[in-house]
Homo-oligomer: A and B are copies of this chain.
Amino acid sequence: MAAEPFAIVEEKAEEAKPLRADAQRNRDRLVEVAAAVFAERGIDASLEEIARRAGVGIGTLYRHFPTREHLVEVVYRREVEALCAAAGELAQKHPSDVALEQWMQRFVDYIATKRGLATSLRILLTTNSTLFSDTSGRVSQALRQLVEAAVAEGTIRGDVDASDVLHALFGIYSAPDTPEWRDRSRRLVSLLMDGLRFGAAKSARA
């Protein structure tokens, strides 16, 4: 099951063809650097800067990502994936209610970095509807996993489900974009958790 020369499907590649070693290296590097640069300069950051910082030529960037949108999409998907993967890790390391709370705080942090980009991102998400449904599906799945575990273990009340919580988070997301947004949102998550813990079966089975 390791890397066989004739393996039809291999572990790393997204879909079809195996990339040459240097190509794969550069591609990974570009995505990583792009995430950093987009975060610090916004979604309109210079692609030439990204290439420069990644130590590759601009031509290489364009070969891997023919348009800015391609690059943004890959970065975005990667970040959503990391956010969702964190759900599993948190669930292992903490009691179920704490895992849920920490994940929601992380969700807030994640959204915070996207706030300024709202318009551009919204355009991307409406233009590319697959991206939207893929990622929002993935996020609510992660949340459901956490909520259901917490309900099953009795660390939060039983009369709510994942979509209730998702609604609450959506409220946070669509709050106006003031400077205090982040702090306010963190407090709202705490508040929400207090509400969720209230009336829970006190005995966690874990």
Contact = CB atoms under 8 A, between A and B. Distances in A.
A119 B126 CA distance: 11
Interface residues of A, number: 4
Contacts of A127: 119, 123
A132 to B, nearest CB: 15
Contacts of A119: 127
Contacts of A126: 126
A187 to B, nearest CB: 32
A27 to B, nearest CB: 28
Interface in A114-156: 119, 123, 126-127
Contacts of A123: 123, 127
A122 to B, nearest CB: 9
A75 to B, nearest CB: 21
Interface of A: 119, 123, 126-127
Chain A to chain B: the 4 pairs with minimum beta-carbon distance, closest first: A123-B123, A119-B127, A126-B126, A123-B127
